[in-house]
Structure 1
């Protein structure tokens, strides 16, 4: 299986961040509640996201994982990320796809710097779900909460054609071309939908 191609084709085209806004018809969930300690925020996000992801992957034995990180020229930074992944219980298997895209970093919270985006796709048992969510939710906390590999985490259900992106402790996007599956998530987890975008989701998933 070409894992890179699968990650790029599962929703019809490649994706990178802000999935809810770049792929209309998805879901955006609110996770941490703000105002607590870093660890408390991560644990709150972990609890809520696990309930949603258990629903997404309940029939699956394996998850296709897509990790993405921006790195500068030094390879030391990548070695540190791999070490943090191992501490988190995520060991990248020999069967994997790795690809690199050289370009400038353009995240709003970071200065533009020349470097490259490194992606790695591989499969893991669904039992590693919480380990992966932890890696996603610690991304903004630096060394205050660890392990923290500081990479983006995308979780893919290949059979249902769904991509889950827990972008940080605050929220999680779920997109895909399987609208009945997304509609089921909308109904079962209404209490976790982000209020700011609720009207957009209501128009998508509620019959007129």
Structure 2
């Protein structure tokens, strides 16, 4: 099993940010609704979990793709692993690690550390927590401070809760997302609803 290849080929080519805008035909969900940080995270957790329960309803495992930015000290890496462990996520021995390079306009080169592995589908809520707490510093824990992508290779779906505010869901197959559009229409981000309506209203 080549986990890196699975993550890169599931929607045709590698993804990193703004999935809804970079992969036309996806869904963007609105998560938190204001309030104190804990209220925001709990609301985001509830909404994202409802969508993910549909995405992974027929699956026993989730393919997880974690992404974090270099430079990363040994201390920083240990902290991320500790926070994941506290969140109930243990990276298994069967995993894949790789670096991606990002060139900047000023000729600087930056690196991203990728880690892909599988976990039981029962861990979906734990992983969503890790994703939606990412912007809250140390005020909410556990918080491994990394991007979290949840993949369903069977249906070709990538789920990215990018922070407490929202979550993108993309796929190469429009049919894989049509049911999510109908069942969770009330959670879709109103700012982009017309784009999604044009894609799915006639499905």
Shorter-chain TM-score: which interval?
over 0.9
| Residue of structure 2 equivalent to 1:195 | 190
1:102 positional shift: 3.8
Asked if the contact 1:52/1:189 (under 8 Å) is kept, the reply is yes
1:177 positional shift: 1.5
Query: What runs of 5+ residues in structure 2 fail to find an aligned partner?
Result: none
1:105 positional shift: 7.9
Q: Give the TM-score of the pair, scaled to structure 2.
A: 0.95
Work out the CA distance in 2 between the residues paired with 1:99 and 1:105: 20
Cα deviations by residue, 1:58-95 (Å, 9 ceiling, x for unpaired)? 00000000000012152221111111101111000000
2:132 maps to 1:137: yes
1:100 positional shift: 1.1
| Count of residues paired in the alignment | 202
Secondary structure, aligned partner of 1:199: helix
Asked if the contact 1:72/1:114 (under 8 Å) is kept, the reply is no
2:156 maps to 1:157: no
Secondary structure, aligned partner of 2:162: strand
| Residue of structure 2 equivalent to 1:179 | 174
1:207 positional shift: 2.1
| Residue of structure 1 equivalent to 2:28 | 28
Asked if the contact 1:73/1:115 (under 8 Å) is kept, the reply is no
1:140 positional shift: 0.1
Work out the CA distance in 2 between the residues paired with 1:44 and 1:115: 34
Work out the CA distance in 2 between the residues paired with 1:24 and 1:102: 24
Within 5 Å, which residues of 2 pair with 1:73-112? 73-103=72-102
Secondary structure, aligned partner of 2:177: helix
| Cα RMSD for the two superposed structures | 1.8
